Amino acid sequence: MKDKRLFEAEEIIPLEDEAIKQRRAKLFNEAAAENLDNNRFGIALSGGGIRSATINLGFLKTLNEFDILKNADYLSTVSGGGYCGSYIQTTLKNLGSYDQLFTDDQIKYMRNRGSYLVPGKGIWKLWNQLVLIVGYLVSWMLSLISPAIILFLIYGFLTLIGVVFNFNLNDFFTGLNDWSGFAFMGFGGLMAGNYIFNIIKKYDLNGSSFFHQLQTASIGVGFIGLFLLLGSSIGDITQPNFRNPNLPLYMFVALVAIIVGFFSSPNATSFHRYYRSSLAGAFLNFAGVHKNVPIHKLFQTESEKEADYLAPYPLVNTCLNLQSTNDPKFKGTKTSDYFLLSPKFCGSKLTNYVRSDQPEGYSKMTFPAAITISAAAVNPGMGNYSSKALAVLTTLTNARLGYWTWNPLKTAGRIPIVWWPVYFFFELFSQMGTDKKMLNISDGGHIENLAVYELLRRKCRLIVGVDAGQDSNYGFGDLEILTIRARNELGIEIKFREDQIPEEIIKPKPSHGYSKKRYAIADLLTVWEEILIKDQDGNIVYFEQSYKNEADEIITESKPVEALINYFYDDKGGITFDIQLKCGGNYIDNKALEEEVENLINYKLEVERGDQKGIDKLKFGTFVYVKSSVTAPKGKPTIRKGEDEDLKYGTYKYKIYHPEFPHEPTSDQFFDKIQWESYYQLGQFIGAEVLDIPDFGEYHSGAKEGTPKSIDDLIAWFDREKSLFPPTTEEQTIARSRGISAKVARKVNQGKKVGYEM
């Protein structure tokens, strides 16, 4: 059977599931594999550069202590979260054991490279700083190859005309030199007059406009003079000289320039390569032979070697930049799309997906390249943050960390031939879109910075997402973007529970300075969905649709019928819904089909979800939103045995002298050892709080009693925090008298030890 070349978004998830079920069956058992649809579990690591990477390292270390990381089906990362994810993926693939993660040697190595762009100290650090400067300057000069080829061909074309038509290009430039001095003096005089006028008449309304019009007219006159000068340099064009001995040489040089253009990829000349090398040096040191593994070889469940499928399935999130006004799918509203790089499929909803292992697809895409693209924060195309002025600036200065990759719509089934010099100007003038052979992709944070979206698309039963983005004002901007997009694009409402509103429990009060809590729990509800209508035999129902093509011919096609179902709920737990039938993008009226769909939805709500009450009938999952934050200290901090003397610098002490901690600017990608360790410890403390382990010393001694042991345990662990189980009167009394939370009061009432909470 011939493999499909293009896949739609809805098709790739079941095919991914096959591999994830194989992983579950091999690591756990067949029952776990068959239960995937009921307890699908994903972890998401947000963007935020080295700050996010370090917090997430600490967070995953805690989860790994309790075997939770191994139980995850997906590890979805974006930007800085990908630094951490790359360490997890490649180290596991090389060493083949979760017990081999987060060893002292590994942590020490990464701590010493907190300043990953210029690692080291003393003379070594100075050397790396010089390498950074030289590397940037060289890449900038190389980036000018593409425009240089264009200019060279223009010059060569004029020279060729001169050879054939007796046109002396040197005479033209000599005349231009004589004429240009006068032209520049005249234009300079206009600028000086404009400047003096602005000083004298600084509130005048019309003067500047008059001068700008005069300057524009002078430029037009200049171009006319240029053409006259060009005409005067041309010889007798009635007697072309095709036998000029220099003609073959000029043609050969032009041909070489054209050929070079097929190899002058911006990917080879941008700063992306230096960035990728720096990240690999910091986070892939323990990958062994897998340091530069192709992404399609990262997750191989067909292998008999456990290390090949030990890590969770990686979802590397990038942003597809769509700025081209002639893009057929642009429609004036969409400037970006979610572009996925993963072991099984690469692509986006707008471009469709291709298999990652296909030669004409993404078989040569390496995992370090994917992680670097996902962290390409600076680029001519920046998704939601794109700007035409910024595109000009970043292109000319070669501040380009993004990547040009193959467009599945244009290249599926064949290897494209690309003449690269024009792509320099596509970047310069913001002409990026799906209408070209190549697509421009950049930092996934340019569209969604929490890396949660793809997990929502896969309807995970449990999502644990760490928000380590810069948010010193606790405005929860990345969370807001996610909630809006999830509802509008996926039909999913992220509904935080009454006592779990992030703005109320995570945002520090100015009079207090600390957060009450560092995570909040939300229920994931289906508020609308689109389903294909099927008959009693399970076949898709089709209707005929007619339309006129460009030749004004009437074309009739059979298209599937979809039902758009909108769900509504009230405070009393009542659920209602309405149904709209669509075919080929048009709404249709068919009462019989509507009744069938209505019966189907009623069956789903009343029979399949009959054990649920009220709004829970719409629930499919739980979202644990974790925020990088600091709670008030309680008790004396516990210092770990064997800790380096120069690192006995607790996160609280660090915060005293760095009040913005843990939200220091993302522009700071140069962490020293103490700064790195403070964020790393914070991540561990946050993980301990999420798992309800209040005593940091007890956690480090390996106390695991009462913590979840499986995915189902973990789901129940977070679902227990519903207000359906309020604290008892006795627990409330303890909480009020001791100034602690009711949950901690419950522990006190049960005789459990409650110590230092970070």
Closest among 94, 92, 44 to 310, alpha carbons compared: 92
**Assigned domain for 741 exists:** yes
Tell me if 744 sits within 8 A of 694, measured CB to CB.
yes
Q: Higher confidence at residue 224 or residue 311?
A: 311
Q: Is residue 565 part of a domain?
A: yes
DSSP annotation of 638: P
133 within some domain: no
Is 680 within a domain?
no
- Domain that includes residue 539, residue range: 528-618
From 33-47, 63-77, 497-511, 720-734, the region with the lowest mean pLDDT:
720-734
Q: In angstroms, rounded to a whole number, what is the distance separating the alpha carbons of residues 531 and 109?
A: 51
CB proximity list for 454: less than 8 A, separation 6 or greater: 74, 76, 315, 317, 338, 340
The amino acid that residue 637 corresponds to is P
Domain tally, the chain: 3
The answer to whether residue 256 scores a pLDDT higher than 50 is yes
Share of the chain above pLDDT 70, in %: 81
Residue 208 pLDDT more than 50?
yes
Query: Where is the domain boundary, 261, 292, 327?
Result: 261
475-525 per-position pLDDT tens digit: 999 999 999 999 999 999 999 998 899 999 999 988 888 999 999 999 999
Where is the domain boundary, 231, 261, 291?
261
Residue with tokens 């409650």: 754
C-alpha 587/C-alpha 582 separation (Å) is 4
Question: Per-residue pLDDT tens for 89-141?
Answer: 999 999 999 999 999 999 999 999 999 998 888 898 888 888 888 888 888 88
Mean pLDDT score of the chain, rounded to an integer?
A: 84
Q: What is the pLDDT of residue 724?
A: 32
- Burial per residue of 248-283, b for 16 or more beta-carbon CB atoms within 10 angstroms, e otherwise: eebeeebeebeebbeebbbbebbbbbbbbebbbebb
What's the pLDDT at 460? 97
pLDDT of residue 722: 52
Predicted local confidence at residue 349, as pLDDT: 92
Residue 239 predicted with pLDDT over 70: no
Residue 423 forms part of a structural domain: no
Segment 548-575 shows an average pLDDT of: 82
Distance CA 156, CA 234 (A): 16
Whether residue 312 has pLDDT greater than 60: yes
Closest CA to 624 of 59, 9, 17, 54: 59
Peptide bond into 294 cis (omega under 30): no
pLDDT single digits (tens) 121-133: 889 888 888 888 8
In the predicted model, is pLDDT for residue 753 greater than 50? no
Whether residue 666 is predicted with pLDDT greater than 60 in this model: the reply is yes
pLDDT band (50, 70, 90) for residue 243: low
Contact yes or no for 468/56 (Cβ under 8 A): yes
Mean pLDDT for the stretch of residues 156-182: 64
- Decide which of 618, 649, 680 is a domain's last residue: 618
DSSP characters for 338-393? EEEE-SSEEEETTTEEEETT-TTTTTT-BHHHHHHHHT--S-S--GGG--HHHHHH
Mean pLDDT, rounded, for 23-46: 96
Mean predicted confidence (pLDDT) in 384-392: 90
- The Cα–Cα gap between 254 and 261 comes to 11
- Cβ-based burial of 387 (10 A; exposed 0-12, middle 13-18, buried ≥19): middle
Tokens representing residue 640 in the block: 């770990």
Q: How confident is the model at residue 568 (pLDDT cuts 50, 70, 90)?
A: very high
Residue 580 forms part of a structural domain: yes
The verdict on residue 324 lying in a domain is: no
- Please indicate whether residue 320 or residue 413 has the higher confidence score (pLDDT): 320
- What is the pTM assigned to this prediction? 0.85
Most confident of 268-282, 406-420, 704-718: 268-282
| pLDDT tens figures, 707-731 | 676 888 889 888 875 533 344 555 5
Percent of the chain with pLDDT over 90: 48
What is the pLDDT, as a whole number, of residue 698? 54
> For residue 505, is it within any domain?
no
Distance from C-alpha of 400 to C-alpha of 146, rounded to nearest angstrom? 14
Q: Is the per-residue pLDDT at 631 higher than 80?
A: yes
Question: Is 60 exceeded by the pLDDT of residue 740?
Answer: no
